[in-house]
């Protein structure tokens, strides 16, 4: 029986429900940033400073948010971002989120550090999905990941370029983050308060990193996995590697983690099809600027040479509309869908997408527009939004 989630009226409602239902270590993993978490907070609060111009007595019929992202039709300029540990927010989480995205009409991205594997998603969905690649020291394993994504007919490869070393997230250290949770006394006490999560997790075989265990050399169980992942992120990753990965992949390439115009210009030269203005949700470098503040300079630097998208900090459809007005031609959502997933599984992800769509659609109408392609920065109040620094 389908649940009535109409009382879930905003992403914050879903967040509060997810906080109640998801074990603390996994909720904290999603809802945290590095060091002081200042950048994590700025990503959302800087959106709030931007104000709309309200127009009246204009035709608001037949509105459309439809567009394309790297040539793919989308119901609104949104894709579900690749997020690690998604299958620990809810059992089989990546499969459920991918199904919700497919039915709604937006792309789904699978993380290298997912609980469900590439093959799991391919077997449980029919729409092409995107795969996000972390570059590992074990090049043979990395190349095999790319081949597995090709075999699954993934329609784009996302190369995350801002995680050569791992930013420190204090909550993860304090919680002893692991998948599945270690049977410590604090963990067992916390799990006892999450019976629904526990029952669903007991009924799935997917409880660790499905893309890695059984595929990487010398990784056969959880004890060997933790030491392997700690050693594998490659701090020597360079633009030369981007060129090699593009050649190996042979399809659409998205670079995620660009925050400076100089790097955006190099992304154009690399031949990538899109770049994502992103500070990893405030989870890597703390005390850097928010993604929405970085956006105008990057759009100005690259013009129409490459699709520019934005990720980090989006909590409403109004945020998406503001990003579009400032030049982003797509966005990626992480926490917004994770809250829905943790709260209500696939239905929760669908509800998160519905909320974002309605907020964006109604706000666009109030600014005097019926089609997303007619929206420019003219819908924003001058002086409230970030501009180029030149």
Residue 84 annotated as lining a ligand binding site: yes
Active site residue 373: no
Do you find a cis peptide bond into 128, omega within 30 degrees of 0? no
Token pair for 87: 């299958």
Residue 280 annotated as lining a ligand binding site: yes
Residue 83 annotated as lining a ligand binding site: yes
Catalytic choice (90, 170, 215, 280):
280
Residue 315 annotated as lining a ligand binding site: yes
Give bridge partners of residue 72 from the DSSP assignment.
69
List the Cα angle 272/277/280 in 5-degree steps.
Answer: 110
φ, ψ of residue 254 to 5 degrees: the values are -120, 130
Residue 256 annotated as lining a ligand binding site: yes
Query: In Å, what is the CA distance from 43 to each residue of 40, 254, 281?
Result: 5, 21, 7
Residue 82 annotated as lining a ligand binding site: yes
Q: Give the count of alpha carbons within 13 A of 356, CB side only.
A: 34
Nearest Cα residue to 366 out of 353, 380, 352: 380
Residue 132 annotated as lining a ligand binding site: yes
Residue 111 annotated as lining a ligand binding site: yes
Residue 283 annotated as lining a ligand binding site: yes
Please identify every residue annotated as catalytic.
280
Binding-site annotation, residues for glyoxylate: 29, 132, 134, 169, 280, 283
Binding-site annotation, residues: 29, 82-84, 111, 132, 134, 160, 169, 256, 278, 280, 283, 311-315, 334-335
Binding-site annotation, residues for FMN: 82-84, 111, 160, 256, 278, 311-315, 334-335
């Amino acid at each position: 029986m389908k649940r009535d989630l109409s009382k879930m009226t905003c992403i914050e409602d879903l967040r509060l429900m997810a906080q109640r239902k998801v074990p603390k270590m996994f909720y904290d993993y999603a809802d945290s940033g590095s060091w002081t978490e200042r950048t994590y907070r700025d990503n959302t609060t800087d959106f709030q400073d931007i104000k709309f111009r309200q127009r009246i007595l204009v035709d608001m019929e037949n509105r459309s948010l439809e567009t394309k992202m790297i040539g793919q039709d989308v119901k609104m300029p949104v894709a579900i971002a690749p997020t690690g540990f998604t299958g620990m927010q809810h059992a089989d989480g990546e499969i459920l989120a991918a199904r919700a995205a497919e039915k709604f009409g937006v792309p789904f991205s699978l993380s290298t550090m997912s609980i469900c594997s590439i093959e799991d998603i391919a077997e449980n969905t029919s729409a092409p999905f995107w795969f996000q690649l972390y570059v590992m020291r074990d090049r043979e394993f990395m190349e095999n990941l790319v081949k597995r994504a090709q075999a699954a007919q993934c329609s784009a490869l996302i190369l995350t370029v801002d995680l050569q070393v791992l930013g420190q997230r204090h909550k993860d250290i304090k919680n002893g983050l692991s998948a599945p949770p270690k049977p410590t006394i604090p963990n067992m006490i916390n799990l006892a308060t999450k019976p629904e999560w526990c029952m669903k997790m007991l009924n799935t075989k997917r409880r660790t990193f499905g893309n890695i265990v059984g595929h990487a050399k010398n990784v056969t169980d959880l004890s060997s996995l933790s030491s392997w992942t700690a050693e594998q992120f490659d701090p020597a990753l360079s633009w030369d590697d981007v060129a090699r990965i593009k050649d190996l992949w042979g399809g659409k390439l998205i670079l995620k983690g660009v925050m400076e115009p100089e790097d955006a210009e190099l992304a154009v030269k690399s031949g990538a099809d899109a770049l994502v203005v992103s500070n990893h949700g405030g989870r890597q470098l703390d005390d850097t600027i928010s993604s929405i503040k970085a956006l105008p300079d990057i759009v100005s630097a690259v013009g129409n040479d490459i699709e520019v998208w934005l990720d980090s900090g989006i909590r409403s459809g109004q945020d998406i509309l503001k990003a579009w007005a400032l030049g982003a031609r797509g966005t990626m959502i992480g926490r917004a869908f994770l809250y829905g997933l943790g709260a209500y599984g696939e239905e929760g992800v669908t509800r998160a997408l519905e909320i974002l769509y309605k907020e964006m659609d109604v706000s666009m109408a109030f600014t005097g527009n019926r089609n997303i392609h007619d929206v420019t920065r003219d819908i924003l109040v001058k002086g409230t939004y970030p501009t180029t620094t030149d």
